[in-house]
């Protein structure tokens, strides 16, 4: 089965995926004994998503292929569809795809006959990131209902924010948004960071996505850090039980101070670790067509 957009999954199914990921964390063994091949097709740069999908596949006893887009026939003008179809014809068992175009998968669904796992589409969806964020929250608080989160930064260009806002609200969380005027989008619950920071359970920071901007950022790095960055003074305002999250990569000294990245409240590297368990669960679900 395809895993493209969390809107396609019920809350019950999302909970099942998180439980399966937790089982993998606790040592559950699934071994495909080298009989399944997972192909990672990243048409956009990635470290965490690409290589944790790769690690997840290896941990499940799959073999992997890692597409080198910079040295591929994309350079000769080959299309996304033709590239993906080529991998299907090689005999791969599932495709992990990241692409710059929002909902790129719509041009593949119905024509590609093996599972597609969306590893991020433009500013649209990042289901595996959102699930690893949810797993991290569940491990911390044991629930979603009633939790409050503020997501801070470049909301407009963030597929992580777009995915998380929807699914977190479905799970009963209250989602506040904070960030510069230029990155605002209609329909969200905007607040000033300094007015909400002592009331939320989670502060989630976002990287400023310069690569998706048509104009340069209005603020200097120093101005951005002062207005929206999480520094030690702001951390000290947070509730004793609250945590800090960031999908990464993070820019030290911009949206997060260097000494906050690995502070006691930070779960940033735990998120990275949870990414492997969540992606093991997703590959297993996709291959077994069962959730
Ligand atoms: N969080 C995330 O998607 O990171 P990468 O771009 O490194 O995969």
β-bridge mates for residue 176, sequence order:
150
Q: Cα–Cα distance between 30 and 153 in angstroms, integer?
A: 39
Positive or negative CA dihedral for 84, 86, 87, 89? positive
For ligand 1, atom 3: residue with the closest CA: 49
| CB count in 10 Å sphere of residue 16 | 16
Domain positions in the chain are 6-125+273-288, 127-268
192: which 2 tokens?
Answer: 């000033």
Q: How far is CA 26 from CA 20, 213, 267, 274, in A?
A: 10, 41, 19, 11
| pLDDT tens, residue by residue, 112-122 | 999 999 999 99
- Which residue from 40, 42, 45, 49 has its CB within 8 A of the most atoms of ligand 1, so it is best to mutate? 49
Ligand 1 proximity of 98 Cβ (cutoff 6 Å): no
Q: Which residue has the least CA distance to atom 6 on ligand 1? A: 46
For the chain, list residues with pLDDT below 70: 209-218
What pLDDT score was predicted for residue 208? 82
Separation of alpha carbons 43 and 69, rounded Å: 6
Distance in angstroms (rounded) separating the CA atoms of residues 205 and 245 = 6
Shortest-distance atom of ligand 1 to CA 44: 6
**pLDDT given for residue 291 in this prediction:** 83
What's domain 6-125+273-288's architecture?
3-Layer(aba) Sandwich (3.40)
Residue 118 Cβ < 6 Å to ligand 1: no
Ligand 1 near 248 CB (within 6 A): yes
**CB 129 near ligand 1, within 6 Å:** yes
Q: What is d(CA 177, CA 189) in angstroms, rounded to the nearest whole number? A: 6
Q: Ligand 1, closest atom to CA 50?
A: 8
47 ligand 1 Cβ < 6 A: yes
127-268 has which fold?
Rossmann fold (3.40.50)
Question: What burial letters (b/e) apply to 37-75, b meaning 16+ CB within 10 Å?
Answer: bbbbbbbbebebbbebbbebbebbebebeebebeeeebe
The pTM for the full model equals 0.95
- Give the model's pLDDT for residue 212: 60
- Compute the distance from residue 207 Cα to the ligand 1 centre, in Å: 11
191 vs 169: CA distance, rounded Å? 17
Same-fold call for 6-125+273-288 versus 127-268: yes
- What are the pLDDT digits (tens) for 226-276? 999 999 999 999 999 999 999 999 999 999 999 999 999 999 999 999 999
């Amino acid at each position: 089965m395809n895993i493209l957009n969390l809107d396609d999954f019920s809350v019950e199914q999302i909970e099942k995926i998180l439980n399966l990921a937790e089982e993998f964390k606790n040592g559950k063994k699934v071994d495909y004994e080298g009989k399944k091949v997972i192909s990672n097709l990243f048409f956009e740069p990635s470290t965490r998503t690409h290589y944790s999908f790769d690690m997840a596949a290896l941990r499940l006893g799959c073999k992997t292929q890692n597409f080198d887009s910079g040295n591929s026939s994309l350079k000769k003008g080959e299309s996304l569809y033709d590239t993906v179809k080529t991998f299907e014809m090689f005999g791969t068992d599932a495709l992990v795809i990241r692409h710059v175009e929002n909902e790129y998968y719509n041009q593949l669904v119905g024509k590609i006959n093996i599972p597609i796992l969306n590893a991020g589409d433009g500013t649209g969806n990042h289901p595996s990131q959102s699930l690893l964020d949810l797993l991290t929250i569940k491990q911390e608080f044991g629930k979603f209902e009633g939790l409050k989160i503020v997501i801070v930064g470049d909301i407009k260009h963030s597929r992580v924010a777009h995915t998380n806002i929807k699914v977190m609200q479905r799970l009963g969380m209250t989602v506040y948004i904070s960030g510069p005027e230029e990155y605002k989008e209609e329909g969200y619950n905007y607040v000033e960071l300094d007015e909400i920071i002592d009331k939320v359970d989670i502060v989630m920071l976002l990287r400023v996505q310069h690569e998706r901007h048509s104009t340069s950022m209005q603020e200097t790095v120093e101005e951005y850090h002062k207005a929206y960055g999480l520094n030690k003074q702001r951390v000290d305002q947070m509730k004793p039980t609250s945590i800090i999250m960031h999908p990464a990569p993070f820019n030290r000294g911009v949206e997060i101070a260097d000494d906050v990245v690995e502070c006691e409240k930070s779960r940033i590297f735990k998120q990275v670790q949870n990414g492997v368990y969540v992606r093991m669960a997703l590959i297993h679900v996709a291959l077994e067509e069962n959730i």
